[in-house]
Amino acid sequence: MELAISQQTIARVAPLSGLDRALVYTIPEALRETIAVGTLVEIPLGRRSVLGLVVGFGAEGPMKFKLKAIEKLVYDQPVTSPDLLKLAVWMQRYYAASVESVYETLIPAKIRGGATAKEQKFLALNQDLSKEDLGILEKRAPKQFSVYVFLKESGAPVSITAIRRKFPGSEAAYRTLVKKTVLKEQFEVQEHVAYTDTLSQAEHVGTEAPILNEEQQAAATSIQESIDSAEFKVHLLHGVTGSGKTEVYLSAIQKALSVGGGVLFLVPEVALTPQTVGRIRTRLDAQGIKTVVWHSHLSEAERLDAWFSLVKGEAQVVVGARSALFAPLKDLRLIVVDEEHEPAYKQDETPRYHGRDVAVYRGMLCKATVVLGSATPSLESLYNVKARGYILNRLTKRIDDRKLPRFHVVDMKREALKHKGSDKRVISQLLKEKLQDRLEKKEQSILFINRRGYSSSMVCSECGYVAECEHCSNTLTYHRTDQVLRCHLCGSHETAPDRCPGCESPKIRWQGFGTQRIEDVVQQVVPKANVVRIDADTLSKRNRFREILSDFRTGKIDVLVGTQMIAKGLDFPNVTLVGMVDADIGMHVPDFRASERTFQLLVQVAGRAGRGDRAGEVVVQSFSPHSPPIQFARRADFEGFLEEELEQRREFNYPPFRNLIRHLFRSRNKEKVAFYSEQWIKFLEKGLKQKIEIRGPVPAPLERVKDYYRFHAWFFVGNVSKVLPEIVALRQQFKMDKEVIDVFDVDPRDLT
Ligand code: ADP
Ligand code: ZN
Ligand code: ZN
């Protein structure tokens, strides 16, 4: 009986900031009914009052001192669930991440901010002032006048934070304006429209499910059986581009919903996969199923709304990028990870988790079915079919037996010999002819080049000077539209010189090429075509991506030139030609995944062609046309590629055969980072009881970024959870110099 009482009166609370363990507090009588595991509370800690999460009830053993009481609940509803709290503990251990960073990931800043919500308020114009009133205001209340004019001119709501920054001490002024109903406060910016809204109305998005073909049906049945079993199962859905994976996902979603379960659908990036997101949503909307699309453009109000509709079990489906992994869904029964091979699933700041892997772990905790889907599965997942019993479901044919596109590989060495100095070195004769042909037939083309800007470097023909960034070990890229040399690592830029800064010679050569140059050359090659470029530079403009895609769909654009970022899941039936302008970028980088990535990229990019009734063609330009990734992609030979690549990985014991942990060290002081990383590795080798293979420390491929010198060491381990805690414990004993910053990256994607 005593236990029962303490269960009701004592709560274990994990402070969100820093502390590595939960603390015990008493629960005031008034809160006992509402409090639950996952409730966000305010607790006294030292002399402050901080936010914490209730992780359990009751305490072990007798209390030696008087407990403090929980001060208040931030919300009446819990903000997270017990399985997510377990997930957080695992993430913290597996990724050697701080508790704080994990909780930050678990509970978005906007949610934890019962207190900070005020900060996010916006001010908007409520009524226009007459000229007269305005004149009076200018004389009598200049501060009110400035705020008014500012809001009027901005034409949109502005956050209070921004107003305060712009007009310090203007608080009383805008309050008065609100009182006078000239301005109004609101929690969200109305003008914002979620990316997917217009796209979901696209003509080819059906609201009714088609009849699945045989392969789709087989995959769907297999997944549905797992959902029915209510056990943890992982499926790998390997379906060639255009094979109709989305319909298989949809049938799985229906199944999960029909057994009353929640569904989590992950995409690499919401903004870049508007079609997939739109399709899922349209279909479910048509059935009256509430879908939450979780993305960074949600307003404050929408975000809170979405979160609590999940907590309360009102919404059962969440679609989003990796941060959606932590949505507090009830009775999660299905997790879909679309394009599971995408490196975008890996977060590149702490906690450096991999969205796909966390999805699998959450699935395990919830006994859910996890579906990993891709046209080009990662080697890890393919390997796990054997190693961990993932169920492999294959879609080998395109819908309606549409043919996979025909590949042409152009040897650019020959092309360069044949056409010295001309733009044929950028766009080969073959690609040129095909572009012209498509224009005549009124079909569309997409050209990919994974480099933005105009030229990749500026070289002096007299003295060999190469323009490099002052802050990074990186050459500067020439951007012709704004006439600057820009560093793609740190963003710093300078005006492009017309003479060599070294020797004053005017003989400057521009080497290599990026999206801007391709856009130019294509325009010369097919002068009548409407050519549009799309890359990170154009994407910085709001809604531009959506506009371009919509113009492309309606046929206003003939040729789309872009980086691979736009290659994700686009489905345009009128595209019959895809060009990979420089397939070699990315092939010769110091990364054991270089081959895998090139292969995946080629297959994905090719998959954008021939999705309608007409067959597609792919032109791949390369200086090493016989390299395995290009040849295997040309034949669409997955098995062959897998076999050869696994062989190589096995030989060097690379992932997936072992896990890799990268320990990265940075400092503005080059000597210190070299010395201390070396000392640490010696210390580690001496102290570590388990045997692991350590390589390095050596300078990282990008030796300097933003004035920081970088070193790294690699640990190859058989079992991360077993080894990493010991490494971390030793690291805590090691005295690192204050000027050296270090971080562990488990299962890293980025090795530069
Ligand atoms: P993937 O994601 O595998 O590349 P999609 O899911 O985009 O393929 O499907 C390709 C196209 O085929 C889409 O336009 C989709 O609507 C259509 N489709 C999928 N399944 C069927 C089916 N069973 N019958 C008819 N059309 C289908
Ligand atoms: Zn020079
Ligand atoms: Zn730089």
Which residue's CA is the nearest one to ligand 1's atom 2?
245
Q: What are all long-range contacts of 377-382, with beta carbons under 8 Å and residues at least 24 apart? A: 377/236, 377/238, 377/340, 377/341, 378/340, 378/341, 378/596, 379/596, 379/642, 379/645, 379/646, 379/649, 379/655, 379/656, 380/655, 380/656, 381/236, 381/340, 381/341, 381/356, 382/236, 382/238, 382/642
pTM over 0.85: no
The correct answer on CATH 1.20.1560.10 for the domain covering 659-746 is no
pLDDT tens digits along 366-405: 999 999 999 999 999 999 999 999 999 999 998 888 888 8
Which among 511, 515, 467, 516 has a CA at the least distance from the CA of 492? Answer: 467
The reply to whether domains 214-401 and 406-454+513-648 share a CATH topology is yes
**What is the residue type of 126?**
N
pLDDT of residue 569: 63
Ligand whose nearest atom lies closest to the CA of 610: 1
pLDDT of residue 85: 92
Residue 355 binned pLDDT confidence (cut-offs 50, 70, 90): very high
Domain boundaries, the chain: 7-112, 118-190, 214-401, 406-454+513-648, 659-746
pLDDT of residue 510: 83
Residue 195 scores a pLDDT above 50 = no
pLDDT tens digits along 455-505: 778 888 888 888 888 888 888 888 888 888 988 888 888 898 888 988 989
For residues 741 and 117, the model is more confident at 741
Question: Measured from the CA of 205, which atom of ligand 1 is nearest?
Answer: 16
620, 408 contact by CB (below 8 A)? yes
Radius of gyration of the chain (CA): 28
pLDDT of residue 204: 45
For residues 262 and 116, the model is more confident at 262
Residue 564 scores a pLDDT above 80 = no
Residue 269 scores a pLDDT above 70 = yes
For 535-568, the DSSP string reads: SHHHHTSTTHHHHHHHHHHTT--SEEEE-GGG-S
Helix H or strand E segment including 680: helix 670-687
Helix H or strand E segment including 743: strand 741-746
For residues 491 and 160, the model is more confident at 491
For residue 732, report the distance from its CA to the centre of ligand 1, in Å: 52
Q: What is the mean pLDDT of residues 166-195?
A: 69
pLDDT of residue 171: 81
Return mean pLDDT, the chain.
86
Q: Is 444 in the pocket of ligand 1 (CB under 6 A)?
A: no
pLDDT tens digits along 683-737: 999 999 988 999 989 999 889 999 999 999 999 999 999 999 999 999 999 999 9
Q: What is the mean pLDDT of residues 288-295?
A: 84
Q: Is 376 in the pocket of ligand 1 (CB under 6 A)?
A: no
Query: Looking at domain 214-401, what is its CATH homologous superfamily?
Result: P-loop containing nucleotide triphosphate hydrolases (3.40.50.300)
Query: 340: which residues sit within 8 A by CB, 6+ positions away?
Result: 236, 356, 372, 373, 374, 377, 378, 381
For residue 50, report the distance from its CA to the centre of ligand 3, in Å: 39
pLDDT tens digits along 246-259: 999 999 999 999 99
Q: How far is residue 303's CA from residue 295's CA, in Å, rounded to a whole number?
A: 9
pLDDT tens digits along 422-455: 566 788 999 999 999 999 999 999 999 888 777 7
For residue 141, report the distance from its CA to the centre of ligand 2, in Å: 60
Residue 202 scores a pLDDT above 50 = no
pLDDT of residue 189: 40
The correct answer on CATH 3.40.190.10 for the domain covering 7-112 is no
435, 442 contact by CB (below 8 A)? no
Query: 555: which residues sit within 8 A by CB, 6+ positions away?
Result: 442, 444, 574
If 0-12 CB within 10 Å is exposed, 13-18 middle and 19+ buried, where does residue 150 land?
Answer: middle
User: Kind of pairing, strands 10-15 and 508-511?
Assistant: unpaired
- Say which range, 510-514, 540-544, 603-607, 611-615, has the weakest mean pLDDT: 540-544
According to CATH, what is the number of the domain 406-454+513-648? 3.40.50.300
Which residues, chain by chain, have CB under 5 Å from ion ligand 2?
460, 462-463, 465, 500, 502-503, 505
